[in-house]
Amino acid sequence: MAIEVYETPESRRWNGDNFELRLKVEGTDSDSDARWAVLARTPVLWSGRIRQRPTIEPDGLDTWDATVTYQPNDKSPEIGDCSLSWQTGGGTQKITQAISTVGKYAPPGKTAPNNHGAIGARQDGSVEGVDILVPDFRWSERYTVNPAMLSWPYAIICAYLTRAVNDASFRGFAAGEVQFRGSSADVRLTGTAEQPEMTANIQFDFAASPNRGEFTIGDITVDGAKGWEYVDVRYEQTVDVAAVKMTPKPIAVYVHQVYPYASFSTLGIGS
């Protein structure tokens, strides 16, 4: 039976400067599994406040009451800190079709064939294409978190989400524009034998590629393509009467989904 976590009617209350979520957990007889489920389904930060260790209390068979408290970030930077870094650049992508052909030239007395935007057209009808740089925005988010969050089941969630694309708005980007590139984590044990202290850090890496609206390839109008979908063009040989040559012409365009879509909510860092 899957573990379910949901807010109760008493949830989302202020207790002084602290903010509380009241939750119900169903589907497990293990308090550690219930605690992990709460950590996996609640954000690390809420209105600038840092999530504290949840309290878990039994409420019948396979049912638990949980309270998650968020406290102001008045601790030292080593605890509960969040850092952000980003870079812009360009990845590479092979394309076979130009946005537009701005020049076409031939020897005197000859006419250059109309390739219909195909790049690297060959006499046998194949289209070689070219590798180009495409916009690529990458960023990383690093958090100091409760060590209990970094359980093995949570690591598996991160593993399965790696290379997935957002199925809902995330960090201001539309669905289909953000790819989760993976995560890395470390846990540190400091202090003394009498007073040990454990801190944990986790970093999430993302990349964004913009969705495309309606666009045209040759004589074909395409409704659009999401940022991490692949646009594939099929050609056939046709006669260019003016040039008296065979030349490739787009006859179909396919928009392929090549990465899975998933919810990033299970990362526990909000949207």
Q: pLDDT digits over 125-163, tens only?
A: 788 888 877 767 999 999 888 777 777 788 888 998 999
How much is the pLDDT for 90? 65
Residue 78 has a pLDDT of: 36
Q: Which two tokens stand for residue 221?
A: 């109008």
Q: In this predicted structure, what is the pLDDT of residue 79?
A: 37
- For the chain, how far is it from start to end, CA to CA, in angstroms? 27
User: So what's the pLDDT on residue 161?
Assistant: 92
Lowest mean pLDDT across 21-25, 80-84, 116-120: 80-84
Instruction: Provide the token pair at 260.
Output: 């899975």
Percent of the chain with pLDDT over 70: 91
Confidence grade of residue 239 (pLDDT, cut at 50, 70, 90): confident
Residue 98: per-residue pLDDT: 79
Q: Is the pLDDT score of 164 beyond 90?
A: yes
CA of residue 261 relative to chain centroid, distance: 9
Q: What is the pLDDT of residues 57-104, one digit of tens each?
A: 998 888 999 999 988 755 433 335 677 788 776 667 777 877 777 787
- Note the pLDDT of residue 76: 38
Mean pLDDT for all residues in the chain: 83
Query: What was the pLDDT predicted at 146?
Result: 78
Q: What is the DSSP pairing of strand 55-58 with strand 63-72?
A: antiparallel
Nearest alpha-carbon partner for 114 in 237, 197, 260: 237
Which position has the token pair 């605890």?
A: 79
Largest CA distance in the chain: 92
pLDDT at 261: 93
Q: How deeply is 41 buried, as exposed, middle or buried, from its count of CB atoms within 10 A (0-12, 13-18, 19+)?
A: buried
Lowest model confidence (mean pLDDT) among 132-136, 151-155, 175-179, 243-247: 132-136
Distance between CA atoms of residues 226 and 205, nearest Å = 20
Structure tokens at 212: 């495309």
Per-residue pLDDT tens over the stretch 32-65: 888 888 888 887 777 767 778 889 999 888 899 9
pLDDT at 251 over 70: yes
**212-234 per-position pLDDT tens digit:** 999 998 889 999 999 999 888 88
Q: How confident is the model at residue 190 (pLDDT cuts 50, 70, 90)?
A: low
pTM, two decimals, is 0.60
